[in-house]
Amino acid sequence: MDFLVLFLFYLAAVLVGGATICVCSRTSYLRGLVRGGTQVFSYIIPECLQRAMLSLVHYLFHTRNYVFVVLHLTLQGMVYTEYTWEVFGYCRDLGFSLCYLLLPYLLLVVNLAFFTLSSVTDPGAITKANELLLLQVYEFDEVMFPKDARCPTCDLRKPARSKHCGVCDRCVHRFDHHCVWVNNCIGAWNARYFLLYLLTLTASAAAVAVVSTTLLVRVVVLSDLHLETRVDDLGHAQVIDIFLLVQYLFLTFPRIVFLLGFVVMLSFLLGGFLCFALYLAATNQTTNEWYRGDRAWHQRCSQVAGAPSAEPQVYRNIHSHGLWSNLGEIFLPAAAAAHYEKKRT
């Protein structure tokens, strides 16, 4: 019982913590909390250790490196090694369908293909050669994307929905975010690959979880463990409950249960991120625009609030043109760019 309760508590804490960070990240509360925590730790941690930690954080999150790519592939390799070594073998002995057992491998191959495409595909770097063309693709909303803005680093005019990535040191067309797991920016030209990579990664984790759960349930049913009884503290016979079953399975198949706990947690985390990414795609927003949108609009409204003729305005996403058009812009970016250019001319 202790193991299951602790695991469920840990899973709930991770999910609640992730949701809280996503909600609070759009407000000044989290930034103030981080600054306050940093000041507290600055008095506790020695200065030399602070410099080392800052250097490590800068290297991991503010420079292009392959640390998270290697970590990603290592974790994926460990999961599939355990799946192959134990889960697959036990399932074959119990007569599971081979097609059913090969589904996680198929998802792995497809996922690695989209992972590679997300990593190596140009996200939409803006250069002198394509600057004028990309300036015609999207309308300027004069809120987040003013018409005459220039990038001081690249010395280029900034097309609407673009942003300079400090990690890659380039301006990216329809910039979404910089992903450390693929070591690349996510922009107009590789957003479709990243979305499919996220979808197949979630599906592969869920598939391993389903097969592992089915195996453990089959073991319980075939061994009639769910019908066994135990004697409680008062000397009464009690049917074994789910907590004792989990403890027994953990003692008998520790690696499989640990694998199941890991992929279940991963499925929830990836599923939440996937839902968020699908929401952004369906509404034709980027992560950068979602994060900056309300703040930029409030700043814009405060600037015009003093004008006597100023009326209350409601922010409208001028780039959203319906579900299918928005999804088409993700999966057919070249066709979308040609459509916008034709529409403006």
**Predicted confidence (pLDDT) per residue in 189-248, tens digit:** 999 999 999 999 999 999 999 999 999 999 888 887 665 666 555 665 566 677 778 788
User: Residue 285 above 70 pLDDT?
Assistant: yes
* φ and ψ at residue 239, rounded to 5 degrees: -65, 140
- Which is the catalytic residue, given 154, 165, 171, 179? 179
Residues 261, 118, 121: CA angle, nearest 5 degrees: 170
Q: Which among 10, 67, 110, 26 has a CA at the least distance from the CA of 292?
A: 26
CA dihedral 126, 129, 135, 137 (to 10 degrees): -90
pLDDT at residue 212, as a whole number: 96
pLDDT at residue 8, as a whole number: 63
Q: Any alpha helices (H) in 63-140, and if so which ranges?
A: 67-82, 88-93, 98-120, 131-135
- Token pair for residue 308? 């006597």
The verdict on 155 and 255 lying in the same domain is no
Cβ-based neighbours of 47, under 8 Å, separated by 6 or more:
none
Q: At what angle do helices 191-222 and 254-282 cross, to 10 degrees?
A: 150
User: Residue 336 above 70 pLDDT?
Assistant: no
pLDDT at residue 312, as a whole number: 46
Distances (CA, A) of 125 to 24, 165, 166, 173, 327: 31, 10, 13, 6, 21
Tell me if 45 is assigned to some domain: no
Question: Best-predicted range by mean pLDDT among 59-63, 104-108, 302-306?
Answer: 104-108
pTM of the entire predicted model: 0.83
Of the listed ranges 10-14, 107-111, 146-150, 202-206, the one predicted with least confidence: 10-14
The verdict on 115 and 206 lying in the same domain is yes
Label residue 5 by pLDDT band (50, 70, 90).
Answer: low
Tell me if 302 is assigned to some domain: no
User: Residue 311 above 50 pLDDT?
Assistant: no
> Cβ-count burial of 303 within 10 angstroms (0-12 exposed, 13-18 middle, 19+ buried)?
exposed
The verdict on 196 and 107 lying in the same domain is yes
Of the listed ranges 43-57, 92-106, 239-253, 322-336, the one predicted with least confidence: 239-253
pLDDT at residue 22, as a whole number: 57
Tell me if 117 is assigned to some domain: yes
**Domain limits for position 130:** 125-173
Q: Which H or E run contains 58?
A: helix 47-62
Label residue 51 by pLDDT band (50, 70, 90).
Answer: confident
Q: Which amino acid is at 10?
A: Y
User: Residue 343 above 90 pLDDT?
Assistant: no
The verdict on 213 and 142 lying in the same domain is no
The verdict on 88 and 221 lying in the same domain is yes
Label residue 278 by pLDDT band (50, 70, 90).
Answer: very high
* φ and ψ at residue 238, rounded to 5 degrees: -125, 140
CB 210 within 8 A of CB 202: no
The verdict on 201 and 239 lying in the same domain is yes
- The length of the chain is 345
Residue 179 known to be catalytic: yes
User: Residue 335 above 70 pLDDT?
Assistant: no
User: Alpha carbon 229 to chain centroid distance?
Assistant: 44
The verdict on 233 and 84 lying in the same domain is yes
Quick: pLDDT tens for 234-256: 665 566 677 778 788 888 899 99
> Cβ-count burial of 324 within 10 angstroms (0-12 exposed, 13-18 middle, 19+ buried)?
exposed
User: Residue 344 above 70 pLDDT?
Assistant: no
The verdict on 263 and 130 lying in the same domain is no
pLDDT at residue 310, as a whole number: 46
Tell me if 73 is assigned to some domain: yes
CB 249 within 8 A of CB 184: no
Counting the structural domains of the chain, the total is 2
Cβ-based neighbours of 248, under 8 Å, separated by 6 or more:
225, 240
Burial 111-141 (b: 16+ CB within 10 A, else e): bbebbebbbebebbbbeeeebeebbbbbebb
The verdict on 113 and 208 lying in the same domain is yes
Distances (CA, A) of 245 to 35, 92, 129, 168, 232: 46, 23, 65, 50, 15
